[in-house]
Amino acid sequence: MPTASLLSTGCEVAEPLRMTRMGLRRFIRNIGGTTGTGDAGARREIITIVVLMASVVFAFLLLAWRCFYLQYSQADHYMAECVNQQRAYVPLEPQRGAILDCRGRVLAASNQFRTIFAEPRIIAEPKDTANRLAAVLEMPAHEICKEIMTSRNRGYMPIKVGATVSECEAARQIPGVGIQDSWQRYYPTARLASHVVGFTSVDNYGLAGVELGYDRELRGRGATNSFFVDVHRRPIAFCLEDERDNCAPINGTGIILTLDATIQQFAREELFAQYKAYQAQGAIAVVTDVKSGAILALVSLPDFDPADARRTDPNHFYNRVLTDQYEPGSIIKPITASIALDSGVVSRYETIFCENGSYHGKGFGSIGEYRQGFGDMTLKEIIAKSSNIGMAKIGQRLGATRCYEGLTLFGFGRKVGIGLPGESEGQLRPPRQWTGYSVTRIPFGQEISVTAIQLVRGFCMIANGGRLVRPYIIKAIVQPDGSMRDMRPTMPQLGYVIKPEIAKWMVTQAMTAVVEQGGTGTKAKLKEWQVFGKSGTAQLARPGGQGYEEKAYMASFLAGAPAEDPRVIVLVSIRHPNVDLKKGYTGGSVAAPVAAAILRKTLHYLEGTQPEFDEPTPAAFVKGARPAPSSHPGPGAVPASYKPEDDLSW
């Protein structure tokens, strides 16, 4: 090839050429000084070009996919990350509502406490910060400095919990130091009403009692303060994201109970003394207003301190008034006798032969009496002397269907619903499952399981002239704005469970004879009022098997007064008293004196007839009533007079 042609080609190379396919081939051919490379060279050139172009296209596609991923698919995530970097959120906890007794005494409340904390990640000079804090908090500077420098949580290091207002105001001026406001639940009456009030978790969620049953109402609704922050997470200005930001929290509602703390103390004192004396496994006492069904006292032993629930035996949390199901024994006899009278299968004037203590027959086995046999007895005598054979014969007259229907009218076999969680419904089998044994045993309290609160409801109906009564424990709910919502149940005024004249006779004649006329409840007699009542001694079923435990009894007694116009009834049950103590184990000997003592104190208190029963200060409510902190609002801020028992179990 001529030299001029080569020079010309070199000049062409120096010029900016477009890299077209033909131009590239020509360029490669000219550089190589050849006129062609053959078919193999051409294929390599094509592959090289295709690979280069595909790489460019793939790179653009990859870039497009990444843009789509960031700006569309993950847009919300990265927006949230951006917001978190730009903003800080401070939660505002609402004050949990207070729980009061019927006279306004505080049973549970929330106290505000303040925590001074450091944020180590933004503290440039820990020694200087520690020295300034030490002067404010009167704490050693070297300890504060060590805590700041060794803290694993670089965003939050509590320095002092429960700081005063003046300490907080001074500490707030130190860079890297903040103040946190929190709420702590406080129970000024300690064990007194622990099973009713319940307790909360460390984060103020209800875990038992009213605290659990009405947790949503008591808890209220929190709020959040939102701030724009700088790179060191220091607030710059408020920011509003929605209408809930930077607003005040809504405090929880208050709960007013029907419980009277003074009557509760009467019941607990008397019950606890007997519980200890008989080394019992458990014990309960319930005091109820006959007319309204309001529960004035509810005690379950063993109990616990709500403020120390984390270190309490979990078995102490059971509210035995609601959870324990047991055969009631003879205490149910007035109810089944009322059903029989109302059905017309027995007369209050006729006599029933009680077989001198031994009754047996085909289809129902053998039935005996507790100690001695009886001959001819009226219905009043059968109840007063608590004859099993007399009630068995009445059950045979009544039959399965009528007995079942009557017991369901009295509320057995279903929950009462007093407003506390954990209630059992007992067991009352349908008539098709009854046998000859059932017809003769259920009337005197076997082959049926009940709860204490069901017995209370049944006897309230009898004492209230046969009218429906529904026990309850929540009296009212107080809203944060001060308005009050009445929670008392409304019962129909028309209709009766049993005829009024039958209910009247049962209270003023039959159940009064139990106490006044040599019956099984003479230890419940009071000189001030005529008392009506009924004892019950039931064997406890063997857990996990058939039959009954050896030497295991439920000793119960129900008492009420005045008989002519009943005002309150008291149910006391002592579970598994120690028979080996040789003190007795029957309801008439173990539970009746306790019921009488509670009834006497309660009536004197309600009538105001004894000055020594004037309303005590909250410190005297219960052993272990602790003083409230200075920031605690309302009543109950009094010092404790003595300490609680650490362990009530035997």
**pLDDT (tens digit per residue) in 592-620:** 999 999 999 999 999 987 644 444 433 34
d(CA 415, CA 533): 24
Residue 27 pLDDT level (bands cut at 50, 70, 90): very low
Cα–Cα distances in Å, from 72 out to 68, 83, 86, 397? Answer: 5, 17, 21, 81
d(CA 592, CA 259): 22
Q: What was the pLDDT predicted at 621?
A: 41
Least confident piece of the model among 185-199, 267-281, 445-459, 597-611:
597-611
Q: Residue 361: what are its φ and ψ, rounded to 5°?
A: -175, 170
Q: What was the pLDDT predicted at 632?
A: 37
Contact 497, 461 (CB under 8 A): yes
List Cβ neighbours of 7 (8 Å cut-off, separation of 6 or more).
Answer: none
Q: What was the pLDDT predicted at 209?
A: 95
Q: What was the pLDDT predicted at 29?
A: 55
Mean pLDDT of 621-643: 39
Q: Tokens standing for 33?
A: 């000084």
Contact 442, 448 (CB under 8 A): yes
Burial of 514 (0-12, 13-18, 19+ CB in 10 A): buried
Using DSSP, state whether 327 is helix, strand or coil.
coil
DSSP calls for 147-210: HHHH-S-TT-EEEEES--HHHHHHHTTSTTEEEEEEEEEE-TTTTTTHHHH--B-TTS-B-SHH
Least confident piece of the model among 117-121, 279-283, 424-428:
117-121
Q: Tokens standing for 62?
A: 């990859």
Mean pLDDT of 279-290: 96
| Percent of the chain residues topping a pLDDT of 90 | 57
Question: Taking Cα atoms as reference points, which of 171, 151, 158, 146 lies closest to residue 115?
Answer: 158
| Percent of the chain residues topping a pLDDT of 70 | 85
Q: Does the pLDDT of residue 363 top 80, yes or no?
A: yes
Higher-pLDDT residue of 538, 244: 538
Using DSSP, state whether 36 is helix, strand or coil.
coil
d(CA 102, CA 120): 49
Higher-pLDDT residue of 23, 555: 555
d(CA 313, CA 303): 10
Mean pLDDT of 507-520: 93
d(CA 396, CA 345): 10
Q: Does the pLDDT of residue 103 top 60, yes or no?
A: yes
Using DSSP, state whether 551 is helix, strand or coil.
strand
Residue 241 pLDDT level (bands cut at 50, 70, 90): low
Q: What was the pLDDT predicted at 610?
A: 63
Q: How many CA atoms lie within 13 A of 625 on its CB side?
A: 24
Give pTM, 2 decimals: 0.79
d(CA 547, CA 541): 6
Question: Taking Cα atoms as reference points, which of 200, 97, 93, 188 lies closest to residue 484?
Answer: 97
Residue 224 pLDDT level (bands cut at 50, 70, 90): confident
Total residues found in the chain within this entry: 650
Q: What was the pLDDT predicted at 248?
A: 77
Mean pLDDT of 95-99: 94
Tens digits of residue pLDDT in 30-84: 544 444 556 777 888 888 888 899 999 999 999 999 888 888 888 888 887 887 7
Residue 510 pLDDT level (bands cut at 50, 70, 90): very high
Tens digits of residue pLDDT in 196-208: 999 999 888 999 9
Using DSSP, state whether 55 is helix, strand or coil.
helix
d(CA 578, CA 93): 49
DSSP 8-state secondary structure symbol assigned to residue 118: E
d(CA 558, CA 535): 7
Residue 25 pLDDT level (bands cut at 50, 70, 90): low
Residue 121 pLDDT level (bands cut at 50, 70, 90): confident
For residue 12, how many other CB atoms are within 10 A of its CB?
Answer: 13
d(CA 94, CA 245): 14
Contact 511, 381 (CB under 8 A): no
Average pLDDT of every residue of the chain? 85
Residue 633 pLDDT level (bands cut at 50, 70, 90): very low
Least confident piece of the model among 174-183, 270-279, 456-465, 532-541:
174-183
Structural domains of the chain, with CATH: 3-72 (no CATH), 88-254 (3.90.1310.10), 261-308+323-615 (3.40.710.10)
Determine the straight-line distance between the first and last CA of the chain, rounded to whole angstroms. 120
d(CA 590, CA 214): 36
Secondary structure element (H or E) that encloses residue 301, with its range: strand 295-301
d(CA 281, CA 532): 27
Residue 22 pLDDT level (bands cut at 50, 70, 90): low
Contact 540, 611 (CB under 8 A): no
Burial of 60 (0-12, 13-18, 19+ CB in 10 A): exposed
d(CA 599, CA 640): 27
Q: Tokens standing for 285?
A: 């006492």
Contact 398, 340 (CB under 8 A): yes
Higher-pLDDT residue of 493, 242: 493
Q: Does the pLDDT of residue 172 top 90, yes or no?
A: no
Angle in degrees, CA 437, 442, 446, rounded to 5 = 90
Higher-pLDDT residue of 30, 647: 30
> Which amino acid, 596?
A
Contact 341, 498 (CB under 8 A): yes
